[in-house]
Amino acid sequence: MSPSDATYKHAQNREDLRVLYAAYGILKGKKYSEIENHYPDENHPLKEYDKSIERVLKQHKFLKD
């Protein structure tokens, strides 16, 4: 694997794991600020992943279409 491919794959895997961890937190009834407590809830960086988090929850049948 080339270094550029490895860098891209690492970034993608990191983002995927962040989304999965956020979905897990949502299932446990937590808010974004409780999942990653470095940021306040009103402008939390996880909000940009809302669609990805919803997709994971739907994929695993935790949300209805």
**What is the rounded distance in angstroms from the CA atom of residue 34 to the CA atom of residue 64?**
24
> The pTM is what?
0.83
Question: In the predicted model, what is the mean pLDDT of residues 26-53?
Answer: 91
Tokens of 14: 């990191």
**What pLDDT is recorded for position 10?**
97
Residue 50 has pLDDT above 70, yes or no: yes
